[in-house]
Structure 1
Amino acid sequence: MNQLLQSFTKQFINGQWREGTSSGTIRNFNPYSGEELLTIQAASKDDLEEAYKSAQQAQLVWEDMSLGKKQQLFERLVKVLEEKREDIIEWLVKESGSTLIKARIEFEASVTMVKESANFLTRITGQILPSYVPNKEHRIYRTAKGVIGVIGPWNFPFFLTMRSVAPAIATGNSVVIKPASYTSVTSGLLFGKIFEEAGFPAGLVNVIVGRGSEIGDAFVSHPIPSMISFTGSTEVGRHIGELAGKNLKDVALELGGNNVMLVLKDANIERAAKAAAFGKFLHQGQICMALNRIIVDQAVHDEFVEKFTEVVKGLKAGDPADPATFVGPLINEEQVERIKQEIEDSVAQGARIHLEGTTVHCLMHPVILTNVTNDMPIAQNEIFGPVAPIIKAVDEEDAIQIANDSPYGLSGAVFTENVHHGVEVAKKIKTGMIHINDQSVNDEAHVPFGGEKDSGIGRFNGEWAIEKFTTVKWIGVQNGYREYPI
């Protein structure tokens, strides 16, 4: 490893690397090998206070900086990312258990996100509206919200943190990042290094690594940030939403999913099987958009199970650093035990293990369950692991009803040879995103990303991110003087 990767054991506050002042520590482990990667002295509430104050001051400097200078810094940011490509990918593999396939996808998506965000610099526009009052006009300005608190996740740590940080900075804000403890480098400290090396003003990007029990609530309820961006579980997101609402803060919440693929009776089964395997087992299913339920019309159920099983048996599980590996380790053994319990409970209710994968520490080989019904734990809960439940539907109407019988609504897919009919089916699925003849794991920097129901609030990406990370101000301009009835 080069110098960039050697010592991520400090906090990044106001452009300086310093020890955290909490008495506690946070230890990071490689989920595949169990090797300890680093130990960080955790951040305290005093560190949090300093980070937010630094961000508040830096935001004023950033807002006044010339457009040309900001563009140069974003160009430099892209260059730094490209220079550190292999280092970032290596950290994703070691810290989050990402396979090389997934890590490369994540890195490229992050670069695209930065490039799209750089365009925001010239896409923030206002309006001039007429007035009913004579000789008056209304000017509508769009400006930065100020300081944004970003809570990074552990599953797609680099990209999902970048998805908030880059747009927030490009729209004139500063940020304080609280990374997930399991991925303190890839969802946090790497951002300090990269923005520092790119030459952004000190304090514009701050990273504090702290325990949720010590600084979690304070991170959200602190008076300085005007918005909190969080990607993670619905349970935690609901708590963040409650805290933010109590303190009248805006939120962007991208939460859990129970995503479906509907395989209709006219689907190309071979193509559907390959797409389902990718959408289910990429990053071991630890993706909010991953397929959670595969709902197949009974007319093609057996054929699909056969083709899908054939594809899944060909997926290599093992060391994520091996280029041939598609299924790597889960983030920790707690997740393994939780998933195994849900499988056991579902089998007790009648599910059948069609393909049984072995488990060694955090590495679970793919599992396929058939005879699954929608009321089983493996279908009701977000799996976040390499288990594929297949539900047999009586017909298309039944498949749609099963798909909507969930409190979640993030992503999904419909497979059919009739694309236009597929769109009509997709319209009936209560979800924020859905794809025809593709799988559910899709995210492009210029397309609105977000869910319905328990899957979150707000939309990321493109013009929707501009709207989310800015606010509007009405300035009324009276030309001459107005006559009043007094």
Structure 2
Amino acid sequence: LPSQTKQKENLVYRDPVGVVGVISSFNFPLHLSMRSIVPAIAMGNTVVHKPDLQTAISGGTIIAKMFEEAGLPAGVFNLIVTDIKEIGDSFIEHPIPKIISFTGSTGVGKHIGSIAGQNLKKVALELGGNNPFIVLEDANIEEAVNAAVFGKFLHQGQVCMIISRMLVHRSLYKEFVGRFVERVSKLPFGNPEDPSVIIGPLINEKQVHKVRDLVQIAKQEGATPVLEGTIEGNVVTPFVFADVSNDMKIAQSEIFGPIATIIPFDNEEEVIKFANDTAYGLSAGIFTKDIEKGRKMARQIESGMAHVNDQSVNDESMVPFGGIKSSGLGRYGGRWALEEFTNTKWISIQNNPRNYPF
């Protein structure tokens, strides 16, 4: 870098931190583990990894096996398969890991962040989302419906970036709801071993109960069920609610299940207010034929990511992935991931003697 001092050379290095602690979630266990493990090792660190116990094979032991077969030296990648209750906060409090990378719920992320802060540790936290999907008055409604079906029900809605609230201009609202319900009612459900199945089981019984309770609360608060789902074991078929207001619990929660909420709006100022009226700030989608309008609106949405003429579930390896507000801290992907897992160090070299003022 240039210097204000004559004959001085400024160099900036990125040094490995030493040991990185990685805690990953159940919903995309291989990818959400590797996106931290790989850049951490690539930048010269070693890793201690704790996957979610529900997906410890695809998110943990298979990774250890792959690294072993690839010839990674022993001790560079270390795996802990355990219930978090067995180790408590010791994984975070331990003085050796200098960075904690966590993907999971906002509540747990805040807890990890508070402990890390007390120990002056860096954190990379990718947490929950409540992601708006905006359909403007000039949008291609067929394209918007197609995107909404995918962006709401991918992986049964168990995605941090999933569409949480569909905000549809009132002039398109009735048609959008009708087309959306028609499409969703035909989604095949059941055992995901059948390749035609779209809606498979939720991760566990606790999550099924959460979805069931949110459905009952939505009805009590006055939302209109335009598609009534069913619950058979851990398989929950889609529920679609219309006439939802932005302050209802179903609109303010991270559902992590196949419940769609559709909210009408009257103008752009109102929809931006609705979109930002949430504790979260992860992703967003906007449909409009006016690309410049979409870009400007995307800049106004309080989120780490926003997508014009696409739904909210997007992830690419070379872009900065992450959120703001209660959706987390830090960025994954590309050079941003390299920044997360290193310490920045400035070294200057004075090539000729300086003239000091005293």
**Same-fold call, TM > 0.5?**
yes
Alpha-carbon distance in 2 for matches of 1:376, 1:146: 46
Does the C-alpha gap of structure 1 residues 187 and 216 become closer, same or farther in structure 2, counting only changes over 3 Å? farther
1:136 Cα shift? 3.5
List aligned pairs for 1:22-421, cutoff 5 A: 128-130=1-3, 132=5, 134-421=6-293
Pick from 251, 276, 296 the counterpart of residue 424 of structure 1.
296
Residue pair 1:353, 1:367 contacting (<8 A) in 2 also: yes
**Partner letter of residue 305 of structure 1?**
V
Residue pair 1:152, 1:188 contacting (<8 A) in 2 also: no
User: Do residues 472 (structure 1) and 344 (structure 2) align?
Assistant: yes
Residue pair 1:129, 1:139 contacting (<8 A) in 2 also: no
Does the C-alpha gap of structure 1 residues 333 and 484 become closer, same or farther in structure 2, counting only changes over 3 Å? same
Return 5+ residue gaps in structure 2 as ranges: none
1:287 Cα shift? 0.2
1:476 Cα shift? 2.7
RMSD: 1.4
**Partner letter of residue 433 of structure 1?**
M
SS of alignment partner, residue 132 of structure 2? strand
SS of alignment partner, residue 315 of structure 1? coil
Alpha-carbon distance in 1 for matches of 2:69, 2:95: 30
**Partner letter of residue 387 of structure 1?**
I
Does the C-alpha gap of structure 1 residues 337 and 130 become closer, same or farther in structure 2, counting only changes over 3 Å? same
Q: Which has the higher contact order (CA 8 A, sep 6+)?
A: 2
Cα deviations across residues 324-371 of structure 1 (Å, max 9, x unaligned)?
A: 011110001111111111110111010111101111110001110111
Alpha-carbon distance in 2 for matches of 1:130, 1:317: 63
- Please report the TM-score for the alignment, with normalisation by the length of structure 1: 0.72
**Partner letter of residue 288 of structure 1?**
C
Corresponding residue for residue 73 of structure 1: none
- Please report the TM-score for the alignment, with normalisation by the length of structure 2: 0.97
Number of residue pairs aligned between Structure 1 and Structure 2 = 358
Alpha-carbon distance in 1 for matches of 2:333, 2:285: 20
**Partner letter of residue 277 of structure 2?**
D
**Partner letter of residue 9 of structure 2?**
E
1:478 Cα shift? 3.3
1:135 Cα shift? 4.2
Point out the more displaced range, 331-340 or 394-403. Answer: 394-403
1:481 Cα shift? 5.4
Does the C-alpha gap of structure 1 residues 271 and 147 become closer, same or farther in structure 2, counting only changes over 3 Å? same
Runs of 4+ in structure 1 deviating by more than 4 angstroms, as ranges, are 480-486
**Partner letter of residue 193 of structure 2?**
A
Alpha-carbon distance in 1 for matches of 2:10, 2:302: 39
Alpha-carbon distance in 2 for matches of 1:456, 1:476: 34
Alpha-carbon distance in 2 for matches of 1:172, 1:180: 25
Cα deviations across residues 205-237 of structure 1 (Å, max 9, x unaligned)?
A: 111012212214111111111100001000000
Alpha-carbon distance in 2 for matches of 1:149, 1:302: 49
1:130 Cα shift? 3.0
Identity %: 53
Does the C-alpha gap of structure 1 residues 379 and 485 become closer, same or farther in structure 2, counting only changes over 3 Å? closer
Pick from 332, 345, 352 the counterpart of residue 460 of structure 1.
332
